[in-house]
C-alpha cells in the first residue's frame, strides 16, 4: 500500500472537523424504528430531514411552558413567546451570517419565501411609486435555470404572465452543471432578477455562484438564491455569497415543517411593498388607508408559526453545536463512498456530477429498464426509504430524457452502512425485475 503524504503547510486530513455519527443518531428517535421488518434506512433527507430530541423537546416545552401569542401581549407568557420567537430570528441570522436579525423574514417554507419576492415585484409593478428595482414590464427579463425546483420556476412564470416580462434560463450540461457559456448574453441590461438554485435537489450539484453574481452586479439586477438544499448541509454565509435574497426551509434542517426563511438585504426589504395584509404587519390602520411596519414584520401578517420558529432556533443550535463544516465533510466522505458503491451496480446511471466535487449528498439515478416506482417499492420492502419521481424538478428529468428518477439523499446521521443497504437493496430490485 502506498501512502501519499500531504505536504506540510497544506491543510491536513486530520484538520477537518469530525463527529461521532452513532452519537448523533442516538439523538434521532425515529432512526431506531423498523420498516417492513428491517431497520429503517432513511435516505430521503433532501425531501425532509428527521428531527432530533433537542428540537422535539423545545417544541414540547414551548407549548407546555411558554405558549402565548407574539408581539401583542403584555402578559408573561406572551412576552416569553415573543422573546423566544425573536431569539430564533437572531439565531437564524447568525447561522447564515446575516448582518441583522431584521433581515430574516419567517415564512411557511421556501416556496412561500420565493413567492413573497415574486409578489413584491408584482405589487411594485402595478401601483405608482413602486421602487424601480422591483418594477417589471414588457421588455424586462427574469433569469432562472433549467435545474430549478418547481418552486423557483412557477412563481416566475406567473409573475411574467402578470407583468409581461420575459422568463429566460441557464441550460444544464450533460454532466449536470449549470451551463454558464451564455452568461453575458443571458444576463444583460434588461435583466431585473436572477434566481437560481444553490444546490440542486435532484442532481446534487452545488453551483459556483461567483461568476454569475459578478455579472448580476454589472447589469444592476437583483440576485435570489434558492438555498433550500444548501443551508441544511453546508456553511452558508450571505455576505460571502453576495446575494440579495436567499430562501430556505426549516423541515430540511432538523426543524418542524411549517417554518421557512426569506433572508433579504435590509435596504431591499425596506423598499419592497407588502404582500400579505393583516395583523402584525401594520403601523397604523384607518378606514381610509394604512401604513406598514418596517421589515421583517411587514412581511409576517397574522399569527406566525411561533413554536415552529422557536424549534427552528433549536435546530440551528443543534447543527451549530455539531458544526456545519463537520457536517459538510461527513456528507462529502459519504457521497464519495456512495458514488463508488453505486458504480458497482450493473446498469445504474447517475444524473449529475459523478465525482464528489461541487456536489452534495443527493444522488439521482436510473436502473436500466426498471421504473423508479418499482425500484422505490422493492427498496421500501427492504426498509430503504428513497424518493422516486420527478422530485418537483420535471425540466431536469426532461433534460436527461427520463420520466422520473430514484434519489438517495444523505444527512448528518447517514452512515456508510446505510449506503451498503441501498446497494444490497438495488441487487434485490434487479432480482425481482431481472
Partner 1 sequence: MQVDQLYQEIILDHYKHPHGRGLREPYAAEAHHVNPTCGDEVTIRVALDDDTLSDVSYDGMGCSISQASASVLHELLTGRDTGQAFEVHAAFVELMSGRGQVTPDEELLGDAVAFAGVARYPARVKCALLPWMAFKDAAARAGVDVEAGDEDSNERSEVKTA
Catalytic residues: 392
Least separation in angstroms between CB 383 and partner 1: 11
Q: Judged by CB under 8 A, how many residues of this single chain contact partner 1? A: 18
Closest contact distance (angstroms) between CB of 131 and partner 1 is 37
397 binds partner 1 (CB under 8 A): yes
Of positions 43, 363, 404, 426, contacts partner 1 by CB under 8 A: 404
Residue selected from 16, 271, 348, 381 as contacting partner 1 according to rule CB under 8 A = 381
CA dist 93 and 113 (Å) reads: 15
- Is residue 146 at the binding interface for partner 1, with CB under 8 A as the rule? no
The interface region with partner 1, picked from 162-170, 176-184, 310-318, 375-383 by CB under 8 A, is 375-383
Q: Pick one of 302, 377, 417, 427: the residue that binds partner 1 (CB under 8 A).
A: 377
Instruction: Name the residue nearer to partner 1 (CB basis): 90 or 381.
Output: 381
CB of 36 to partner 1, least distance (A): 6
CA atoms within 13 A on the CB side of 9: 1
Q: If binding is defined by CB under 8 A, does position 337 make contact with partner 1?
A: no
Q: Does 181 bind partner 1 (CB under 8 A)?
A: no
Nearer to partner 1, 135 or 390 (CB): 390
Asked if 218 interacts with partner 1 (CB under 8 A), we say no
The Cα 231–Cα 66 span in angstroms is 28
Closest approach, Cβ 388 to partner 1, in A, equals 7
Q: Is 422 in the site for partner 1 (CB under 8 A)?
A: no
**Euclidean distance between CA atoms 146 and 164, whole angstroms:** 21
Measured from the CB atom, the residue of 242 and 380 that comes closer to partner 1 is 380
Comparison of 179 and 380: residue with beta carbon closer to partner 1: 380
**Residue 275 and residue 397: Cα distance in Å, rounded?**
33
19 touches partner 1 (CB under 8 A): no
Strands 141-145 and 166-170: parallel
425 is an interface residue for partner 1 by CB under 8 A: no
Long-range contacts of 90-96 (CB under 8 A, 24+ apart): 91/313, 91/316, 91/317, 92/261, 92/312, 92/313, 92/316, 93/263, 94/316, 95/231, 95/316, 95/319, 95/320, 96/231, 96/236, 96/237, 96/238, 96/246, 96/263
Nearer to partner 1, 133 or 390 (CB): 390
Q: Work out whether 389 is an interface residue with partner 1 (CB under 8 A).
A: yes
The grid cell for 361 is 449528498
Assess 154 for contact with partner 1 (CB under 8 A).
Answer: no
Say whether residue 39 binds partner 1 (CB under 8 A): no
* Terminal Cα distance for the chain, rounded: 38
39's CB contacts (< 8 A; 6+ apart) are: 383
Minimum CB distance to partner 1, residue 394 (Å): 7
403 scored as a contact of partner 1 (CB under 8 A): yes
Q: Which residues of 38-54 are buried (b: 16+ CB within 10 A; e: fewer)?
A: eebbbbbbbbbbbbbeb
The helix (run of H) or strand (run of E) holding residue 107 is strand 104-107
Residues that bind partner 1 (CB under 8 A): 36, 371-374, 377-378, 380-381, 388-390, 394, 397, 403-404, 432-433
Amino acid at each position: 500500500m502506498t501512502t501519499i503524504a500531504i505536504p506540510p503547510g497544506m491543510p491536513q486530513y486530520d484538520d477537518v472537523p469530525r463527529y461521532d455519527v452513532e452519537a448523533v443518531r442516538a439523538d434521532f428517535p425515529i432512526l431506531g424504528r423498523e420498516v417492513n421488518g428491517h431497520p429503517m434506512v432513511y435516505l430521503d433527507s433532501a425531501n425532509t430531514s428527521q428531527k432530533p430530541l433537542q428540537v422535539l423537546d423545545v417544541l414540547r416545552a414551548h407549548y407546555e411552558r411558554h405558549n402565548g401569542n407574539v408581539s401583542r401581549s403584555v402578559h408573561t407568557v406572551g412576552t416569553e413567546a415573543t422573546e423566544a420567537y425573536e431569539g430564533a430570528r437572531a439565531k437564524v441570522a447568525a447561522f447564515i451570517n446575516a448582518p441583522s436579525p431584521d433581515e430574516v423574514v419567517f415564512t411557511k417554507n421556501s416556496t412561500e419565501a420565493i413567492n413573497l419576492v415574486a409578489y413584491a415585484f408584482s405589487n411594485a409593478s402595478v401601483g405608482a411609486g413602486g421602487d424601480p428595482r422591483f418594477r417589471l414590464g414588457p421588455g424586462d427579463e427574469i433569469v432562472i435555470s433549467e435545474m430549478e425546483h418547481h418552486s423557483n420556476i412557477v412563481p416566475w412564470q406567473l409573475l411574467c404572465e402578470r407583468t409581461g416580462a420575459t422568463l429566460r434560463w441557464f441550460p444544464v450540461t450533460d454532466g449536470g452543471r449549470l451551463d454558464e457559456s451564455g452568461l453575458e448574453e443571458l444576463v444583460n441590461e434588461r435583466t431585473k432578477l436572477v434566481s437560481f438554485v444553490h444546490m440542486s435537489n435532484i442532481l446534487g450539484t452545488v453551483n459556483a455562484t461567483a461568476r454569475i453574481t459578478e455579472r448580476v452586479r454589472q447589469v444592476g439586477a437583483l440576485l435570489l438564491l434558492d438555498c433550500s438544499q444548501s443551508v441544511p448541509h453546508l456553511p452558508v454565509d450571505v455576505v460571502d455569497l453576495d446575494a440579495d435574497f436567499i430562501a430556505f426551509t426549516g423541515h430540511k434542517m432538523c426543524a418542524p415543517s411549517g417554518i421557512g426563511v426569506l433572508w433579504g438585504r435590509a435596504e431591499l426589504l425596506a423598499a419592497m411593498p407588502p404582500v400579505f395584509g393583516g395583523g402584525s404587519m401594520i403601523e397604523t390602520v384607518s378606514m381610509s388607508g394604512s401604513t406598514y411596519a418596517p421589515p421583517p414584520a411587514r412581511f409576517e401578517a397574522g399569527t406566525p408559526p411561533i413554536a415552529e420558529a422557536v424549534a427552528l432556533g433549536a435546530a440551528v443550535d443543534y447543527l451549530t453545536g455539531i458544526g456545519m463544516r463537520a457536517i459538510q465533510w461527513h456528507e462529502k466522505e459519504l457521497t464519495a463512498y456512495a458514488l463508488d458503491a453505486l458504480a458497482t451496480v450493473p446498469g445504474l446511471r447517475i444524473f449529475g456530477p459523478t465525482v464528489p466535487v461541487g456536489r452534495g449528498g443527493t444522488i439521482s439515478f436510473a436502473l436500466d429498464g426498471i421504473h423508479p416506482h418499482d425500484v422505490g417499492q422493492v427498496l421500501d420492502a427492504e426498509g430503504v426509504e428513497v424518493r422516486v419521481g420527478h422530485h418537483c424538478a420535471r425540466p431536469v428529468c426532461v433534460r436527461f430524457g427520463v420520466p422520473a428518477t430514484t434519489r438517495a439523499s444523505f444527512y448528518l446521521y447517514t452512515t456508510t452502512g446505510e449506503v451498503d443497504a441501498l446497494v444490497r437493496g438495488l441487487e434485490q430490485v434487479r432480482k425481482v425485475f431481472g
